[in-house]
Structure 1
Amino acid sequence: MLEASGLGLETARRLTADALAGADDGELFVEYRQSEGLVFDNGRLKSASYDTAQGFGLRAVVGEAAGYAHSGEISAAALKRAADAVAAVKSGHAGSYAAAPARTNTRLYADLNPLASPSFEDKVKLLQEIDAYARARDPRVRQVSASIAGSWQVVDILRADGHRVRDIRPMVRLSISVIAASGDRMEAGSFGCGGREGFERFITPETWQAGVDEALRQALVNLEAVPAPAGTFDVVLGPGWPGILLHEAVGHGLEGDFNRKKTSAFAGLMGQRVAAPGVTIVDDGTIADRRGSITVDDEGTPSSRTTLIEDGILVGYMQDRQNARLMGMAPTGNGRRQSYAHIPMPRMTNTVMLGGDKDPAEILASVRNGIFAASFGGGQVDITSGKFVFSCTEAYRIEDGKIGAPVKGAMLIGNGPDALTRVTMIGNDMKLDPGLGTCGKQGQGVPVGVGQPSMRINAMTIGGTAV
């Protein structure tokens, strides 16, 4: 990118070194991205988009402050202007530039460009086939929406000391939504999958037909759902995607910036018990081809597997370079940004609760009167207090140890740190989500993954509509 733009590597190195002289840390982040998306809705191709973007972001870090400038023009003139803009943060400061991150030969995903294959015509045909298959599956299907999206991102990270890191990041996603109706009642079900691969694995008939079947199954289950009860119940969470609750209610609270600023419910609790025995949570950006994985983060630090909570004890935070330095800790490869136009910050990758030793059937059998939450939708979390509210997109009553009627409108209400202490049984069926998560923080979105085994949490508040 540097050579093709006319800027050149040596000129970029010289200007970056001059711009960051006297700073504590910082980098030049150069990005090129291609992205494509097709949406098929209600029997027709609703939208098709293709976008190419490129640019750079220059950051100078001084203590707790950072100066940041970005441009869609990659040139010596633009870089000089950016250097002038970030210089204000260094005024009167003569810092010692931080040591470069370690290098890695690990490659967690291929360099392939997923936009190259299949052709546009074949992608449209695939979406048509998904629509036709879903409508033929059940006469109650009223609406089908299917989309495929792909991107190819190339990043080049250059530091003032000459350290250079490059990464090529593919990404694909398939999403299917089905609305079914019975009388005047309509309910929805959905399925999504993806990862840092080409489209080949995700668009086979076996995969997309199974996806349609799952979305339709969920919609039909919801058609039979009764109003959810309100009150305090023991809750069993299913494996895989329900880990999104841990991601939101616990994961954000374990990011370094919130803990350095003491705005997290976990601030100051390092080394203390914050969860029930047996609860171990890791953030692992090193799982090959996963949506949340990164070979290196957006500061050039190699990704890692960071243990956050071990057997109920808080043992680590997710760190970028700036917050790690200020807290006297090591960076963990969690410095991420949405694009060259955004400053990096501590972000999750694949946040996973490890499995235990209980059979899932044993966990269900242990609950006399409770709720089984199989899938979640949206939610809200207060990082400072840890309080959360999450809506269930698929949930059931548990009656005398058996799955009962499906319920609609169930809301899980609680406090993240408190909920962790109420975990009493952990399943041996740990599962990763199928690859559909996107995490938002301070206006930036990045792809993430979640995972967990089945688990029992005692005495959770359920908000429902049943009288």
Structure 2
Amino acid sequence: MTQSSSPALSPSLLEAADLSPEAARSILSGAMTGADDGELFLERAETESLVFDDGRLKTASYDAHEGFGLRVVSDETAGYAHSSVVDAAAIARAAETASLATQGRTGVQAEAPVSTNQQLYAPIDPLASPAFSDKIALLSEIDAWARTRDPRVVQVSVSMAGEHRDIEILRADGRGVRDIRPLVRLNVSVTVEQNGRRESASAGAGGRAGFDAWIAPAHWQAQVDEALRQALVNLEAVDCPAGEMDVVLGAGWPGVLLHEAVGHGFEGDFHRKGSSVFSGMMGKRVAAPGVTVVDDGSIAGRRGSLTVDDEGTPTSRTVLIEDGIMVGLMHDRLSARKLGARATGNARRQSFAHPPMPRMTNTFMEGGKDSRADMIASTRRGLYAANFGGGQVDITNGKFVFQCTEAYLIEDGRITAPVRGATLIGDGATALTNISMIGDDFAFDPGVGVCGKGGQGVPVGIGQPSLKIGGLTVGGTAL
């Protein structure tokens, strides 16, 4: 099985269930009669989350689950059955149920995904180290240190979460794949008060590794300082004016606008169904010259990276837009087969209880040659959006609304007052074509993204350089 050479690996789910790979293959093979594709997906996952709030450990949770999902696909019809019981009888029942979708059909088995020996993260268990008591002590230390940074700090919340996910995929052609997926995140939220006004901000970081990289003092202290900086800026913020104006986006996390407003429109299932705003635009200009957008799940250690996707296809670098021209899509095996393309390793699922679908991994816009200082200097009246909160997007037309958590007025080429209540309103296709400057300061987000689609949430990465976009509608609170 792919990525199974480490002696530290625990027994596979099939081994733990005393089920031989040959027996599982026999069951899957029977279910595949008349099907084009399919797989048996097995998963064992453990998650731990601790929240230190108001000077004490407020919550500590641990969850473990295991199970399997069995899928058969014929043309565009899929049968899927899952269970939290992993044994021969349960898998046989699932095979019988899922195969109802292919009864009476004559399928041609799709070509199997290529094999890989790449390893984008170590097969470690983040829950094992540091010890639980040491994690609590660390959270307490962070809380105490944050409260000493400024007398205006009135509330601190610190959380850390770890995940150890062990997945196995038995392909329709009998090939087995195994992937051990660690994931961690550390987050700090700070609330400050001045003259009766309170403001909060947060910062976080994480990725596919153990906690060691993020619990060193230099790293968590930087998160505290960043959260405190944003909160203090917001104490001075004035109401944001509304209207159409030029907007300069910061580097890194503001790429969430690109992710939501543009990225989903390049997922293969929306194109297979013709429901994307970018349907029928392959080979045509969809963005300003210089704009290159990439999805890459093969970057070592990044939050959105996977050695193999949830169908067993190795992840890859997929260029979606090149110099403003639409050149690619993110595919699972079904959308690739229906659209005459190759699977790009973008099939993802939240857990064994969910069928896979095309999803983003690490999606970003590549850097350009402009400086952010020049973007600001060239703007007579506009908004500098340094950080974003949540947003809403309609995939079919690309229309979006995003809230800014840190933003400033730009007046006569200078950043002036911080503002509150700023929202950005527009549509992804228009925003792409209205990009006039692309920064030389590309950055990834710190490793905190979660993407929702079809009721499923998966970790993702986001990135971009600073950008200047013309003609965005800014919603504000100023009278």
Is the TM value for this pair above 0.5? yes
User: Structure 1: how far apart are the matches of 2:222 and 2:256?
Assistant: 22
Q: Following TM superposition, by how much is the alpha carbon of 1:160 offset from its aligned partner in structure 2, in angstroms?
A: 2.3
Q: Which amino acid is the alignment partner of residue 60 of structure 1?
A: V
Structure 2 residue aligned with 1:189: 201
Structure 1 residue aligned with 2:440: 428
Which structure 1 residue ranges, 5 or more long, are not aligned? Answer: none
CA deviation profile, 1:127-146 (whole Å, cap 9, x unmatched): 10111111111121111111
User: Does the alignment pair 1:269 with 2:281?
Assistant: yes
DSSP 3-state at the match of 2:215: coil
User: Structure 2: how far apart are the matches of 1:429 and 1:160?
Assistant: 45
Q: Which of 136, 157, 162 is the aligned partner of 1:124?
A: 136
User: Structure 1: how far apart are the matches of 2:261 and 2:401?
Assistant: 9
Contact kept in structure 2, 1:17 and 1:159, CA below 8 Å:
no
DSSP 3-state at the match of 1:92: coil
User: Structure 2: how far apart are the matches of 1:185 and 1:267?
Assistant: 48
Structure 1 residue aligned with 2:337: 325
Structure 2 residue aligned with 1:442: 454
Structure 2 residue aligned with 1:203: 215
Structure 2 residue aligned with 1:305: 317
CA deviation profile, 1:299-335 (whole Å, cap 9, x unmatched): 0000000000000000011000011111111110000
CA deviation profile, 1:174-198 (whole Å, cap 9, x unmatched): 0111111112211111001000011
Q: Which amino acid is the alignment partner of residue 294 of structure 1?
A: L
Q: Which amino acid is the alignment partner of residue 179 of structure 2?
A: D
User: Structure 2: how far apart are the matches of 1:317 and 1:451?
Assistant: 18
RMSD, aligned CA: 0.7
Q: Which amino acid is the alignment partner of residue 229 of structure 2?
A: R
TM-score (norm 1): 0.99
CA deviation profile, 1:280-316 (whole Å, cap 9, x unmatched): 0000111110000001000000000000000000001
Structure 2 residue aligned with 1:278: 290
User: Structure 2: how far apart are the matches of 1:328 and 1:27?
Assistant: 21
Structure 1 residue aligned with 2:120: 108
CA deviation profile, 1:202-259 (whole Å, cap 9, x unmatched): 0011111110010011001001000011001100000000000000000001100111
DSSP 3-state at the match of 2:463: strand
User: Structure 2: how far apart are the matches of 1:161 and 1:307?
Assistant: 29
User: Structure 1: how far apart are the matches of 2:196 and 2:392?
Assistant: 30
Q: Which of 29, 32, 55 is the aligned partner of 1:17?
A: 29
CA deviation profile, 1:55-97 (whole Å, cap 9, x unmatched): 1000000111110000011100000110111121011101011
Size of the aligned set, in residue pairs, is 467
Contact kept in structure 1, 2:47 and 2:127, CA below 8 Å:
yes
Q: Following TM superposition, by how much is the alpha carbon of 1:49 offset from its aligned partner in structure 2, in angstroms?
A: 1.0
Taking only the aligned residue pairs, the percentage that are identical comes to 64
CA deviation profile, 1:368-422 (whole Å, cap 9, x unmatched): 1110000000000000011000000000001121111100000000000000000
User: Structure 1: how far apart are the matches of 2:216 and 2:411?
Assistant: 39
Structure 2 residue aligned with 1:243: 255
User: Structure 2: how far apart are the matches of 1:273 and 1:300?
Assistant: 33
Contact kept in structure 2, 1:33 and 1:53, CA below 8 Å:
yes
Contact kept in structure 1, 2:385 and 2:408, CA below 8 Å:
yes
Q: Which amino acid is the alignment partner of residue 437 of structure 1?
A: G
User: Structure 1: how far apart are the matches of 2:356 and 2:288?
Assistant: 33
Q: Following TM superposition, by how much is the alpha carbon of 1:153 offset from its aligned partner in structure 2, in angstroms?
A: 0.7
User: Does the alignment pair 1:220 with 2:220?
Assistant: no
DSSP 3-state at the match of 1:12: helix
User: Structure 2: how far apart are the matches of 1:211 and 1:92?
Assistant: 58
DSSP 3-state at the match of 2:379: coil
User: Does the alignment pair 1:54 with 2:66?
Assistant: yes
Contact kept in structure 2, 1:192 and 1:434, CA below 8 Å:
yes
User: Does the alignment pair 1:159 with 2:171?
Assistant: yes
Which structure 2 residue ranges, 5 or more long, are not aligned? Answer: 1-12
Q: Which amino acid is the alignment partner of residue 284 of structure 1?
A: D
DSSP 3-state at the match of 1:259: helix
Structure 2 residue aligned with 1:144: 156
Q: Which amino acid is the alignment partner of residue 421 of structure 2?
A: G
CA deviation profile, 1:150-178 (whole Å, cap 9, x unmatched): 01111110012111111111000001111
Structure 2 residue aligned with 1:68: 80
